[in-house]
Amino acid sequence: MYIMRRAAVGWGRLSVVISARDLRANDGGGGGELSFSRTRTRTRTITAPLHTSSAKMTEPFLPEHVVFNKPKVELHVHLDGAIRVQTILDVAKRRGISLPADTVEGLTQIIILQQPVTLTKFLCKFGEYMHVIAGDREAIKRIAYEFMEDKAREGVVYVEVRYSPHLLANTKVEPIPWDQKEGDLSPDEVVRLVNEGLNDGQRDFPIKARSILCCLRHMPSWSMEVVKLCKKYRDKGVVAIDLAGDESLNCEAFPEHRMAYEKAVRSGIHRTVHAGEVGPPSVVKEAVEVLKAERVGHGYRTLEDQDLYKKLLAQNMHFEICPISSRLTGACDSDFTKHPVIRFREDGANYSLNTDDPLIFNSSLHLDYYTAQKYMGFTEEEFQRLNISSAQSCFLPEEEKKALLNQLHEAYGMVQSTAF
Ligand SMILES: O=c1[nH]cnc2c1ncn2[C@@H]1O[C@H](CO)[C@@H](O)[C@H]1O
């Protein structure tokens, strides 16, 4: 079954890895990490979040959604928004946690967004399942490992994945999130576990990952520890700090966030900020001018301040664009043909295409690319250009960035100029 699907899609290099995984799983190994890879659902039947709400989809991606079947770079995806539904069910069963549904189909219906809502409502969706994963060492390592498998399957060769260590902890975090009882898993250990899962994934799949630790707008008291964790784990896979959460609740960053970002600048930690997703252009301005963001998460509303937009274009500021997300969070018009990324493209801006939270949007990176092609006029050439820009704007050290760029140039058949 798997093999027939792979042949139809033609995943090239990836198929080798997936075959190897299937073989090992079929060998009856079943134990340890490999058993994780067998749990992915292949049978969702829900309304796909496309331009027209009548579009049906039965899988995270279908062959016809694969419009750019080449190596890709993804810079904006939340680990806690990219968990497999089956994993949530498995962990809940093991931990004796009851959920409102006990099948993949049932729980999917509860977790996913089918129609555009507000960012605030969207963020409530994490409450449907985070209590299952948080505080559980095995689950945290597992979601990081499975994330790598899923991204490799989408043809992503380099990913920067973000999460809040505090939201997955159950001790040394105040308040303890998700109504958990106090346990013994600290934010520091969460980072170690995620690193382990990502490293195991790097070993088993043709993908490289680095992580970004998130501060949350409504939890300023956590931010100093976030930047300390970025520093502590900078040589072990953490490359940057982010500020996520609800921009519509508090627009100006609290002093604690500012202090954390100042420390990040002093310590040479890279910086990105969710800004201009639903908040006004002033939030983008603050992100860039006060928090010294090197990339902007989303940034759609930058277009409402033409002076700011021109300035950021001139600086070659990178915008992390998430097409399907932007429709379902109500950040952008639900008509994709009016999406701000069309203007960014016409102006030759520096941006990436990303999934953001594929679990909640029931999406995949292929679906975002498909949407960009079908409704926004994206071409193969533009997909290549934006992936090169994404690689140039990633937070890897220069040498590793060069290697990634070489990998893309080679895969896209681009001749590189040689310096004599
Ligand atoms: O699109 C988004 N905008 C703002 N915040 C988000 C978005 N997606 C996820 N998170 C927030 O980031 C946390 C860490 O991963 C998530 O738990 C969620 O609260």
165 lines ligand 1 (CB under 6 A): no
Q: What are all long-range contacts of 40-48, with beta carbons under 8 Å and residues at least 24 apart?
A: 40/84, 40/86, 40/146, 40/150, 41/84, 41/85, 41/86, 41/104, 41/108, 43/104, 43/105, 44/104, 44/105, 44/108, 44/362, 45/105, 46/108, 46/109, 46/112, 46/114, 46/362, 47/114, 48/362, 48/367
Ligand 1 atom closest to Cα of 357? 8
Please tell me whether the interface predicted TM-score (ipTM) of this complex is above 0.90: yes
Closest residue (by CA) to atom 12 of ligand 1? 244
Which CATH architecture is the domain 3-411 placed in? Alpha-Beta Barrel (3.20)
Q: Ligand 1 centre from 296 Cα, in Å? A: 14
> DSSP secondary-structure letter at 241?
E
126 lines ligand 1 (CB under 6 A): yes
Q: Ligand 1 centre from 265 Cα, in Å? A: 23
Active site residue 289: no
State pTM to two decimals: 0.86
Q: Ligand 1 centre from 245 Cα, in Å? A: 5
Q: Ligand 1 centre from 195 Cα, in Å? A: 19
Closest residue (by CA) to atom 9 of ligand 1? 78
The structural domains of the chain, with segments of one domain joined by +, span 3-411
Residue 415 pLDDT: 74
Rg for the chain, CA atoms, rounded: 20
Closest residue (by CA) to atom 5 of ligand 1? 245
Residue 19 pLDDT: 25
Flag residues of the chain having pLDDT under 70. Answer: 1-60, 251, 416-420
Residue 61 pLDDT: 74
Residue 307 pLDDT: 98
The pair of three-digit structure tokens given for residue 172, joined into one six-digit string: 């040394």
244 lines ligand 1 (CB under 6 A): yes
Per annotation, catalytic residue among 149, 160, 225, 277: 277
Alpha-carbon separation of residue 340 from 33, 36, 87, 166, 279 (angstroms): 41, 38, 35, 33, 15
